[in-house]
Amino acid sequence: MSFPPGGPDEFADGFATRAIHAGQDPDPFTGSIAVPIYQTSTYAQDVVGETRGGYDYSRAGNPTRTALEQALASLEGASHGYAFASGMAASDTLIRAMLRPGDHVIIPDDAYGGTFRLIDKICVPWGISYTATALSDLDGVRDALRTETKLIWCETPTNPLLGIADIAGLADIAGVCGAKLLVDNTFASPYLQQPIDLGADVVLHSTTKYIGGHSDIIGGALITDEDGLGEAFAFHAKSMGAIAGPFDAWLTLRGVKTLAVRMDRHCDNAEAVVDLLLAHPRVGRVYYPGLPSHPGHQVATGQMLRFGGMVSFTVAGGREEAVKVCQRTRLFILGESLGGVESLIEHPGLMTHASVAGSQLEVRDDLIRLSVGIEDVDDLLADLRDALD
């Protein structure tokens, strides 16, 4: 399928240019600058079995979705992209395409809760086994390998403690044992981190977060540079049907255009927030990979352009005080999710990570997580100061 014209190969431009133009040539029929929302289920054929632009049914392919898929592939420096109805739909499709009953997968011991639930509650009964281990420890990952290991599932930075895994190191381990390396690049976005360039086989996104960037869609993506995997993802996307609809694809594409400028602003604001937190007497630990004291700082410096918009910290006074701070902010809105233009605050122990209480993934209850938005930084700092004082 080559509509809109221009596959990723054509784009040797810089990141911000590709975010605006890759897969998004003006509409060949009308000149429309914005990629049209092809809100259609099916396509007219002039002759039996002969399509006009390679499209026969929108579960298999839709031009608005193709534009988003080409843009995302280009931004990750790869040739194949697939857009899904959610990050979890992308994860499920990936698992069906890459794993079979009897296979073993290594996952982070602080995996995204939904990923842990998918693997533990849905894949295990289906016949998959897994080991959860700290991916920051490469020797531990080597110890977790089995002959049946087919996939290493990496997240970096992780949620909510912003742990860092060495992508190139994991790619070496996967390569030696014949497993594939998947990187969930949701927290960094392709602007800050390029996993395929570092040796990953597949990149996964919840486009709900930074890629969409406006808290108005749920979406997911798989990206790979390997033709065999690309074919498998296309086949499974079409067969399982958890694809992104045209309007969601269009909103995501609209968001992606500003990814570079948004990410720089997220990073600027997060750095200022970190400075405030470090200096505040009621704050205990601050978790941010940009801090030299962060255990993953050196690896992060080697594989990330900057350190992102997510910041976690602990407050004196335990759970009760942490809950109060979360309810006292005015601009930082109390809510789950992350990566949108607006700043969010949450209590992982009682909110995003409540379902992992009592498991290996449990988080301390004096922890607060911030998704630092792109508002005026002085307003954000004043809001946090008021809530902490």
Ligand X SMILES: *Cc1c(COP(=O)(O)O)cnc(C)c1O
Question: Active-site positions?
Answer: 59, 112, 184, 209
Closest CA to 151 of 121, 188, 177, 118: 177
Give phi and psi for 15, each to the nearest 5.
Answer: -60, -50
Residue 64 backbone dihedrals phi, psi, to 5 degrees? -65, -40
The smaller minimum CB distance to ligand X, of residues 8 and 348, is found at 348
**Nearest CB to ligand X, comparing residues 79 and 93:** 93
Give me the half-sphere count of Cα atoms (radius 13 Å) on the Cβ side of residue 212: 29
Task: Please report whether residue 303 would count as binding ligand X according to CB under 6 A.
Answer: no
Please identify, among the stretches 84-92, 100-108, 136-144, 169-177, the one whose residues bind ligand X according to the rule CB under 6 A: 84-92
Token pair belonging to 134: 């700290």
Q: Which residue's beta carbon is nearest to the bound ligand X?
A: 87
CB of 192: closest distance to ligand X in angstroms? 14
d(CA 62, CA 304): 33
Site for ligand X contains 153 (CB under 6 A): no
In the shown chain, the binding pattern of residues 194 to 233 toward ligand X, with x for contact by CB under 6 A and - for none, equals ------------x-xx--------x-x-------------
Out of 69, 109, 155, 346, the only residue in the binding site for ligand X (CB under 6 A) is 155
Assess 86 for contact with ligand X (CB under 6 A).
yes
Q: Which two tokens stand for residue 55?
A: 């499209």
How many Cβ atoms from other residues are within 10 Å of residue 145's Cβ? 17
How many residues bind to ligand X according to rule CB under 6 A?
16
- Give the 3-state secondary structure of residue 172: helix
Query: What's the angle, vertex CA 252, arms to CA 247 and CA 257, rounded to 5?
Result: 130
Among 11, 55, 82, 112, the residue binding ligand X under the rule CB under 6 A is 112
> Which lies closer to ligand X via its Cβ, residue 79 or residue 159?
159
Minimum Å gap between C-beta 159 and ligand X is 6
Helix ranges restricted to H, 241-335: 246-256, 259-279, 297-303, 318-328
Contact positions vs ligand X (CB under 6 A):
86-88, 112, 114-115, 155, 159, 184, 186-187, 206, 208-209, 218, 220
